[in-house]
Amino acid sequence: EPEVTQTPSHQVTQMGQEVILRCVPISNHLYFYWYRQILGQKVEFLVSFYNNEISEKSEIFDDQFSVERPDGSNFTLKIRSTKLEDSAMYFCASSVNLRGPSTNEKLFFGSGTQLSVL
Amino acid sequence: AQKITQTQPGMFVQEKEAVTLDCTYDTSDQSYGLFWYKQPSSGEMIFLIYQGSYDEQNATEGRYSLNFQKARKSANLVISASQLGDSAMYFCAMRGLNSGGYQKVTFGIGTKLQVIP
Question: Pairing relation of β-strands A113-117 and A10-13?
Answer: parallel
Quote the radius of gyration of chain A (alpha carbons, Å). Answer: 14
Q: Which stretch of DSSP H or E encloses residue B107?
A: strand B103-107
The pLDDT assigned to A97 comes to 54
Mean per-residue pLDDT over chain A, rounded: 89
Tens of pLDDT, residue by residue over B49-82, are 999 888 889 999 999 999 999 999 999 999 999 9
B116 touches chain A (CB under 8 A): no
Measure the CA–CA gap between A40 and A2, rounded to whole angstroms.
Answer: 27
Nearest CA to CA, how far is A113 from chain B (Å)? 10
Taking CA atoms, what residue in B is nearest to A5?
Answer: B44
Bond preceding residue A8 cis, omega within 30 of 0? yes
Give chain B positions within 8 Å (CB) of A90. none
Quote the radius of gyration of chain B (alpha carbons, Å). Answer: 14
Contacts of A81 (CB under 8 A, 6+ apart): A16, A17, A18, A64
Tens of pLDDT, residue by residue over A12-53, are 999 999 999 999 999 888 889 999 999 878 899 999 998 889
Q: Which stretch of DSSP H or E encloses residue B28?
A: none
